[in-house]
């Protein structure tokens, strides 16, 4: 009973933060100090407990928002000539580490099975709907894999398996996946998407009502599990991730016409909608691993999650233009049909000014979507969006360099490649 009331109090406290969204980097007490590879020594302390004081949570976007240096015309032409700027970047990285999914798949398996039990309810329809993406169409388990790898990376070379800390970190991975799946089920209702992960969306299989309830139910179960971690700081951080997801969705739906043209608005929205959950899960993972909230290790974990999350969303937005529905397992060209301007189209509009009114009217007139597609393909919109994703991938790798050397650190570097080169 005590844990449930703690989570409710925690969730209420962060649902309407008075201090979260108006603080700029200048007012943030946090400073990120770059360190040499392997410099910090990992000294795990006791697992964080219930007695932590309330946090002053500043969204990572306000701390880490940076843009890549502007490429000159010459560099842009050079980049556009290349087959793939992404593959060149990948070739330059140290990809000698273990395959990331393989490194933790065995350890992840019992937790994945456990999720199905956790979301069991007395109502068979709700139960089936909530379990759907944990059974047949479970996806890559990208988020739990990141959390498990981060748990190892923040422990350095210490053997952390079988410790209470590690169990809690693995549970955090489960919680993160449950929140993610809940958000996808709701997102497909909002976007009226028929397919997800190569199959029918939950609302198409059942109904909107069942899909909304199934998402709510997953969220509720995730909240109870979060409380059971018995770490108030982590409850606050993960609750603020929920707040951010909704904030991002609202930014997307409610953007003013002028906002739709702004790259900074797009990036901020992408942070709230996608990167915040990965970023907050990585930060929480370091805290559960016994690291201080403002320690170099925790900040490096947070920064990694922030940049990887943004790279992930930018690649997702590129694939919306370049991928096919069959490969993606969800509708292609969905963003433009939903009226959304993402990185490739925003870059294309910088060269083709006729795109600007089209973006502002949310591609509503006949022929708008086709015009947008053609201009993105005719300009270097995709290459420049790839370069933006690369900037964030490089920043994610730089953040990892502040963690002690380990196999998990190298596996996380390889994970940035997976993010950049994925086709679905």
What residue 13 binds from Mg ion, ligand FPP, none (CB within 5 to 8 A, per partner kind)?
A: none
What residue 330 binds from ligand FPP, Mg ion, none (CB within 5 to 8 A, per partner kind)?
A: ligand FPP
Chain residue at closest Cβ approach to Mg ion: 191
Can you tell me which of 187, 200, 398, 407 binds Mg ion, judged by CB under 5 A? 187
- For ligand FPP, which is the closer residue by CB, 65 or 193? 193
Listed ranges 180-188, 345-353, 364-372, 377-385: which one lies at the site for ligand FPP (CB under 6 A): 180-188
Residue 191 touching ligand FPP (CB under 6 A): yes
Site string for ligand FPP, 313-332 (x = CB under 6 A): -----------------x--
- For ligand FPP, which is the closer residue by CB, 248 or 289? 248
Listed ranges 43-51, 146-154, 161-169, 189-197: which one lies at the site for Mg ion (CB under 5 A): 189-197
Listed ranges 27-35, 59-67, 191-199, 236-244: which one lies at the site for Mg ion (CB under 5 A): 191-199
Can you tell me which of 186, 221, 384, 414 binds ligand FPP, judged by CB under 6 A? 186
Least Å from the CB of residue 266 to ligand FPP? 11
Total binding residues for ligand FPP by CB under 6 A? Answer: 18
Least Å from the CB of residue 221 to Mg ion? 22
What residue 183 binds from Mg ion, ligand FPP, none (CB within 5 to 8 A, per partner kind)?
A: ligand FPP
Residue 273 touching ligand FPP (CB under 6 A): yes
SS3 for the chain, per residue?
A: CHHHHHHHHHHHHHHCCCCCCCCCHHHCCCCCCCCCCCCCCCCCCCCCCCCCCCCCCCCHHHHHCCCCCCCCHHHHHHHHHCCCHHHHHHHHCCCCCCCHHHHHHHHHHHHHHHHHHHCCCCCHHHHHHHHHHHCCCCCCCHHHHHHHHHHHHHHCCCCCCCCHHHHHHHHHHHHHHHHHHHHHHHHHHHHCCCEECCEECHHHHCCHHHHHHHHHHHHHHHHHHHHHCCCHHHHHHHHHHHHHHHHHHHHHHHCCCCHHHCHHHHHHHHHHHHHHHHHHHHHHHHHHCCCCCCCHHHHHHHHHHHHHHHHHHHHHHHHHHHCCHHHHCCCCCHHHHCCCCCHHHHHHHHHCCCHHHHHHCCCCCCCHHHHHHHHHHHCCHHHHHHHHHHHHHHHHHHHHCCCCCCHHHHHHHHHHHHHHHCCC
Residue 268 touching ligand FPP (CB under 6 A): no
Listed ranges 62-70, 190-198, 202-210, 296-304: which one lies at the site for ligand FPP (CB under 6 A): 190-198
Q: Which residues bind ligand FPP (CB under 6 A)?
A: 179, 182-183, 186-187, 190-191, 193, 215, 219, 242, 245-246, 249, 273-274, 330, 334
């Amino acid at each position: 009973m005590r844990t449930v009331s703690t989570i409710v109090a925690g969730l209420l406290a962060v649902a309407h933060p008075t201090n979260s969204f108006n603080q700029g980097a200048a007012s943030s007490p946090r400073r990120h100090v770059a360190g040499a590879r392997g410099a910090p020594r990992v000294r795990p302390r006791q697992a964080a407990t219930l007695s932590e004081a309330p946090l002053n949570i500043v969204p990572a976007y306000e701390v880490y928002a940076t843009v890549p240096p502007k490429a000159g015309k010459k560099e842009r032409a050079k980049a556009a000539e290349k087959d793939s700027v992404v593959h060149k970047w990948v070739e330059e990285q140290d990809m000698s580490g273990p395959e990331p999914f393989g490194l933790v798949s065995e350890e992840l398996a019992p937790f994945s099975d456990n999720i199905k039990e956790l979301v069991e309810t007395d109502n068979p329809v709700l139960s089936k709907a909530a379990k759907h993406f944990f059974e047949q169409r479970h996806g890559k388990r990208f988020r739990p894999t990141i959390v498990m790898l981060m748990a190892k990376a923040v422990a350095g070379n210490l053997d952390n398996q079988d410790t209470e800390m590690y169990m809690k970190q693995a549970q955090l991975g489960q919680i993160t996946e449950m929140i993610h799946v809940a958000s996808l089920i709701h997102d497909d209702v909002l976007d009226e998407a028929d397919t997800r992960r190569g199959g029918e969306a939950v609302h198409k299989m059942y109904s909107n009502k069942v899909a909304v309830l199934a998402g709510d139910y997953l969220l509720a179960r995730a909240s109870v599990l979060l409380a059971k971690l018995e770490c108030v700081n982590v409850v606050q951080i993960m609750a603020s991730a929920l707040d951010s997801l909704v904030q991002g969705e609202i930014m997307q739906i409610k953007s003013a016409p002028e906002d739709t043209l702004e790259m900074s608005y797009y990036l901020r929205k992408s942070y709230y909608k996608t990167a915040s959950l990965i970023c907050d899960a990585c930060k929480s993972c370091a805290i559960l691993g016994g690291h201080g909230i403002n320690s170099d290790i925790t900040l490096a974990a947070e920064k990694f999650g922030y940049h990887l999350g943004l790279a992930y969303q930018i690649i997702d937005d590129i694939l919306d233009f370049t991928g096919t529905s069959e490969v993606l397992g969800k509708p292609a060209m969905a963003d433009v049909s939903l009226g959304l301007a993402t990185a490739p189209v925003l870059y294309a509009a910088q060269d083709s000014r006729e795109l600007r009114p089209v973006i502002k009217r949310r591609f509503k007139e006949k022929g708008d979507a086709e015009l947008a597609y053609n201009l993105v393909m005719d300009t270097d919109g995709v290459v420049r969006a790839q370069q933006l994703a690369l900037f964030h991938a490089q920043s994610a790798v730089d953040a990892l360099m502040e963690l002690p050397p380990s196999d998990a650190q190298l596996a996380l570097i390889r994970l940035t490649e997976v993010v950049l080169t994925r086709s679905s």
